Amino acid sequence: MAFAPDRRRNGAAFLAMASTAALVWFGTGLDPWWPLLWFAPLPVLLSASRSTWRGVALTASLSWLLGSLNLWHYLHGVGHAPASVLALFFGLPALVFALAVSLFRALLRRGAYWSALLGFPASWVSFEYLRSVVSVHGTAGSLAYTQLGFLPFLQLASLTGSWGMSFLVLLSSATLAIGLHLRKPSPKQAFRIAGAGLGVIAAALVFGAVRLVQRPPAQWVKVGLAASDQPADVNVASAGPETARLLRDYAAEAESLAERGAQIIVLPEKLGVVADPDVASADALFQSVAGETKAGIVVGLIHVSPPVKYNQARVYAAGAEVRSYDKHHMLPAYEWMLKPGSALTLMYEPSGTWGVAICKDMDFIRLSRQYGEAGTGLMLVPAWDFELDRAWHGHMAVMRGVESGFSVVRAAKQGYLTVSDGRGRILAESRSDTAPFSTVVADVPVEHDTTLYLLLGDWFAWLALAIAAFTLMQLFRRRGNSPARRDLDADAN
């Protein structure tokens, strides 16, 4: 029957869409299973050469859209994102994925196999980079974050940043799709392309394995973290008696952590509101603990210095003046009333240089690179997450440590108390809701590593932009050859 080929083609397209959507659903999101993303685009790429461009665009966009809906509850139900933000968050990546797959199809059918191999991941990485430049959420949403549990691969971030990781994850599917496409008509070409693509991935993993066994010289310090998720403690305490009571409780926990050997103690962000002149009493409380225990303390507060409010980390140390750090990157809607800071806060200790940032600041590469360029070996990060995103958002800071060469100590209420090193290894971790006051005491290396990414910055992102532009030129240059005419004829039919 005449409609049988169309029915088979539509069935294959639906199967490809459903398969990619399922792999994206489980391979991304708040708790991704990292191996799945390496194969997620493969079903759609395999079906691309046998479908019309309209069919490919529809299949690809729907597969990515459906798969990314795994974040719907988090963004809509928990984050209360408006409809315009939801449409942009889910719609734009689906559109970009459809364009990337369509580019892959067009190049493949025109015989530009190497351009297809590189153009598909390069176009996506170009999108990730440009989005990070303009987005108030920085690098959030990058595919690289799905691979934080794959430690050998994570080391690639020290060379290329997250951009190289996203590139190779997508390159794997493109390599397999082209190899399978050419296995019968041109087995030698299939072998060359598969060998090149898989060889680059293997080289990255070998580099990562070697880097993991290397131990750069470092001094170790004992850190303490504490957080309370009790109903009376988890929200920002009001100025006055409520904040005073909560700060006394945290000061007692800090004293206990110091007795367990902690040399530096990190508490969550926005514990309460302190307004001038009441900030002096909060300073006196923690400065007293620091003086008695000889341990440093980092405390997150809302500091009101009329008419300005700051999301601030205040730093206390024995025999030293109180220092402060003002958060640079505010959470949209929730923190727009707060004034962002612009300065770094550095502490020059016998063990090395320590830096301070707050929560969302660690979603942004530039700030972390500034700390890395200053020689920071240990970042101290008060934070506050939303329970569901304790791993997804909380572990983004781990990537910054690998990129810019420092260990990270991050204490979040409604999240994790996490200690990680410059290789991305989680040295100690506990949920903040495991006890009335959840605590962690752990040894962490103060190690500054001058990585290639720290030296050269977003060089790989610019390379991806150049590759994407080149493949587009290849597409237009080949429009007049016979594969292009067959492509257009097929679409017309």
298-336 pLDDT tens trace: 999 999 999 999 999 999 999 899 999 999 999 988 898
Sign of CA dihedral 32, 37, 41, 46: negative
Which pLDDT score, from 0 to 100, does residue 232 have?
A: 86
**Residue 227 within any structural domain of the chain:** yes
Residues in CB range of 52: below 8 A, 6 or more apart: 490, 491
Task: Convert the pLDDT of each residue in 369-380 to its tens digit.
Answer: 999 999 999 999
Q: How confident is the model at residue 65 (pLDDT cuts 50, 70, 90)?
A: very high
Which pLDDT score, from 0 to 100, does residue 480 have?
A: 57
478/400 same-domain check = no
pTM: 0.93
Which pLDDT score, from 0 to 100, does residue 492 have?
A: 34
Q: Which residue from 77, 68, 58 is spatially nearest to 26, judged by alpha carbons? A: 68
Which pLDDT score, from 0 to 100, does residue 204 have?
A: 98
**Residue 322 within any structural domain of the chain:** yes
285-304 mean pLDDT? 96
User: Terminal CA-to-CA distance of the chain, rounded, Å?
Assistant: 16
150/278 same-domain check = no
Residues in CB range of 463: below 8 A, 6 or more apart: none
Task: Convert the pLDDT of each residue in 396-418 to its tens digit.
Answer: 999 999 999 999 999 999 999 99
Is residue 233 within 8 A of residue 267, CB to CB? The reply is no
SS3 at position 426: strand
42/92 same-domain check = yes
Q: List the CATH number of the domain containing 226.
A: 3.60.110.10
- 379 strand-pairing partners: 355, 408
CA 239 → CA 135, 274, 403, distances in Å? 33, 6, 38
251/206 same-domain check = no
216-235 mean pLDDT? 92
The radius of gyration of the chain's CA atoms, rounded to the nearest angstrom, is 25
74/193 same-domain check = yes
238/351 same-domain check = yes
**Residue 359 within any structural domain of the chain:** yes
Residues in CB range of 248: below 8 A, 6 or more apart: 285
200/289 same-domain check = no
178/274 same-domain check = no
Q: Which residue from 443, 363, 349, 442 is spatially nearest to 403, judged by alpha carbons? A: 363
CA 21 → CA 38, 49, 67, 102, distances in Å? 13, 19, 4, 17
pLDDT surpassing 60 at residue 4: no
257-277 mean pLDDT? 96
Task: Specify the length of the chain in residues.
Answer: 493
210/238 same-domain check = no
145/230 same-domain check = no
357/469 same-domain check = no
Q: How confident is the model at residue 487 (pLDDT cuts 50, 70, 90)?
A: very low
233/208 same-domain check = no
Give the chain's largest Cα–Cα span.
88
Residues in CB range of 203: below 8 A, 6 or more apart: none
Find the domain containing 105 and state its range.
Answer: 4-214+458-492
pLDDT surpassing 50 at residue 488: no
Which pLDDT score, from 0 to 100, does residue 481 have?
A: 54
Count of structural domains, the chain: 2
Task: Convert the pLDDT of each residue in 153-203 to its tens digit.
Answer: 999 999 999 999 999 999 999 999 999 999 999 999 999 999 999 999 999
Which pLDDT score, from 0 to 100, does residue 489 have?
A: 39
Q: How confident is the model at residue 261 (pLDDT cuts 50, 70, 90)?
A: very high
Can you tell me the distance from the alpha carbon of 417 to that of 394, in angstroms, rounded to the nearest whole number?
A: 9
Residues in CB range of 188: below 8 A, 6 or more apart: none
pLDDT surpassing 60 at residue 110: yes
Alpha helices in 155-278 (DSSP H): 157-160, 162-182, 187-213, 231-234, 241-259
**Residue 453 within any structural domain of the chain:** no
Per the prediction, the chain carries an average pLDDT of: 93
Is residue 416 within 8 A of residue 257, CB to CB? The reply is no
pLDDT surpassing 70 at residue 1: no
93-109 mean pLDDT? 96
Structure tokens at 61: 């966009």
